[in-house]
Amino acid sequence: MISTHLRSIRPYSKTLIFICLVSSLCFVIFAGLFTGCTKSADNLIKNKVLNVGLILGAGGLGDKSFNDSAYNGLLAAQKELNIRFETVEYTGKDADIDALRAFAKNGYDLIIGISIDNLKTIQTVAEEYPNVKFGAIDFELTGNNIASIVYREQEGDFLMGVLAAMVTKTKMVDVVGGTDIPAIRRIMSGFTQGVAYQDSSVKVLTDIAGTFSDPQVGYKLAMERYNHGVDVIHNGASKTGLGIIQAAQEVKKYTTGTSGDQRYLAPGYMIGNRPKRVDIAVQMLIEEVNSGTFKSGGMSLGLKENGLALGPFDETVVTPAMMKCLNEIKQKIISGEIIVKSE
């Protein structure tokens, strides 16, 4: 029927119909190609490789603490997102700035500095490259292209002070920091308040090791304290703290920490930690850049935001009754019933 109808039409009309048919076909093909291109573009955006550069703090990788936590954050982000990353060891020299400048010049999507050691380095390079995004973890830094994440360490270390007061038999405990920086002062303040909250008769000593990267310094300091009556040392000294753990095992006394799970280093004596989730902060910054929601400005993480964790603990030392007490106090801190001062 259709072919008969077409033959009855005048020749010039056939030509017109042919043009219309060809035009319609071209439109369909073009539309399909356009849609395909759009989908391809979307896939390219989704599959875009993010380049991330991270400069470590003093102590570097292998500290089983702060720096290793940041590195774990990079690995976790790499599993979830399409990222490529490089790390730079902290030296405190011009080479640090040169390394970050190289990241910026090569179009890295995000440059992160962890630890206050890198404050001036990040500040300098961020000012030179205003279109590059920077992350500052564990120190405050302002800038239109800088996102700064700090922690309310005192909240978690208040709980570790409570635990130390419950565990000690000599009624003498110690808290050791790597260097005298704001984060360490918050750790010491929280720990001291927690001890007093639980048992005001317990004496608290405070020590600054002077370094985050020397286990021998930590070992010597810990042995001196243990030999003079301290039976629990809370360690906020990163790699230096590995010496504290060694000393605790040798004299069969206790230590706690502020990093990941280190119980395997001295079973029965390293009784648990209050990890600062540097890995979470690293992942958060990378995810924001990936999703296009990166914002400059400051953010504070504490117990409520899961920026700090509690445990795990050695169950041969930390009893269920102790854990119940710690969790109850944790909830009081989160709700605001207990206010822990930063200094």
Query: What values do phi and psi take at 232, rounded to 5?
Result: -140, 125
Q: Is 18 a domain residue?
A: no
Instruction: Answer positive or negative: Cα dihedral of 309, 54, 93, 121.
Output: negative
The first and second tokens of residue 215, run together, are: 């286990």
If asked whether residues 135 and 237 sit together in one domain, one would say no
Which range marks the domain in which residue 89 is found? 50-152+279-301
pLDDT tens, position by position, for the chain (343 residues)?
333 333 333 333 434 334 443 444 444 344 444 444 444 444 444 557 899 999 999 888 988 778 999 999 999 999 999 899 999 999 989 999 999 999 999 999 999 999 999 999 999 999 999 999 999 999 999 999 999 999 999 999 999 999 999 999 999 999 999 999 999 999 999 999 999 999 999 999 999 999 999 999 999 999 999 999 999 999 999 899 999 999 999 999 999 999 888 999 999 999 999 988 999 999 999 999 999 999 999 999 999 999 999 999 999 999 999 999 999 999 999 999 999 999 8
If asked whether residues 202 and 270 sit together in one domain, one would say yes
If asked whether residues 243 and 286 sit together in one domain, one would say no
If asked whether residues 331 and 319 sit together in one domain, one would say yes
Q: Is 13 a domain residue?
A: no
In one-letter notation, the amino acid at residue 41 is A
Q: What's the total number of domains in the chain?
A: 2
Q: Is 26 a domain residue?
A: no
Cα 227 to chain center, whole Å? 35
If asked whether residues 81 and 143 sit together in one domain, one would say yes
State the CATH number of the domain containing residue 99: 3.40.50.2300
Q: Is 31 a domain residue?
A: no
If asked whether residues 283 and 216 sit together in one domain, one would say no
What CA–CA distances, in Å, run from 313 to 4, 7, 36, 87?
Answer: 89, 91, 55, 31
Q: Is 240 a domain residue?
A: yes
CA–CA gap between residue 237 and residue 335 (Å, rounded): 29
State the residue for tokens 């400059």. Answer: 296
If asked whether residues 157 and 141 sit together in one domain, one would say no
Residue 93's SS3 state is coil
Torsion of CA 320, 322, 328, 330, to 10 degrees: -110
In one-letter notation, the amino acid at residue 4 is T
If asked whether residues 213 and 235 sit together in one domain, one would say yes
pTM of the model: 0.80
The first and second tokens of residue 133, run together, are: 């995004």
If asked whether residues 183 and 254 sit together in one domain, one would say yes
Query: What values do phi and psi take at 238, rounded to 5?
Result: 55, -125
Phi-psi region of 229 (alpha: psi -120 to 50; beta: other; left: phi over 0): left
